[in-house]
Amino acid sequence: MNLSIGKVGNFMVPNAYFKNIFEIDYKKLKKIGIKNIIFDVDNTLISYTEKELKEEYRKFIINLKKDFNIIIMSNSLSERVLEIVKDLDVKAYYSSMKPLKKNYKKILNKYNKEECVFIGDQFMTDILGAKRMKCKVILVDRISNKEPIYTKFWRVLEFFVIKILKRKNKFKKYQYYDNLN
């Protein structure tokens, strides 16, 4: 992975950035032909310290299923992910090793890339992974800042990525935007 400054500036910019999954313009997603929404789990749908989805998230996802095929893609282990999604009746990929390509390929073998959007809270896993596959990706702010040590490691790298992007006027934390088309 070559993360030179120039490359980061053009490569790591999310297509859209929202405060949380509720703020995303799903009508627009539908309008631009998105049929499959692939959600990250930890700190996108649920905090690391919780084991069950909050009711507002659960209801929201179930409601989204009327309009989209919802897929879950998490780096967490099967036990945690399957417990979280148990009553959602959605396809779930766990131990995904984002940003590695392997599990993205599994999903993209099934669905048309142009009709997919990935949603997550981390630059070094969610954004980098989707961008490497040339997929649309939406960043959301993390739900909580309580994170395990391996996530803290990714956040250190993320800090530098955001710094570079900020310098290039491509991204600034808490300045939300939607450049999806």
List contacts with Mg ion (CB under 5 A).
40, 42-44, 121
Query: With contact defined as beta carbons under 8 Å apart, do 157 and 122 qualify?
Result: no
Residue 121 or 158 having the CB closest to Mg ion:
121
Instruction: For strands 177-178 and 16-18, give the pairing.
Output: antiparallel
Minimum gap (Å) between residue 141 Cβ and Mg ion: 11
Measured CA to CA, the distance from residue 45 to residue 173 in angstroms comes to 19
Residue 150 or 181 having the CB closest to Mg ion:
150
Minimum gap (Å) between residue 42 Cβ and Mg ion: 4
Minimum gap (Å) between residue 71 Cβ and Mg ion: 15
Residue 79 or 114 having the CB closest to Mg ion:
79
Minimum gap (Å) between residue 45 Cβ and Mg ion: 9
Residue 13 or 140 having the CB closest to Mg ion:
140
Q: Is 24 helix (H, G, I), strand (E, B) or coil?
A: coil
Angle at 149 between CA 147 and CA 153, to 5 degrees: 100
Strands of the 16-18 sheet, one edge to the other: 91-93, 69-73, 36-39, 116-120, 136-140, 16-18, 177-178
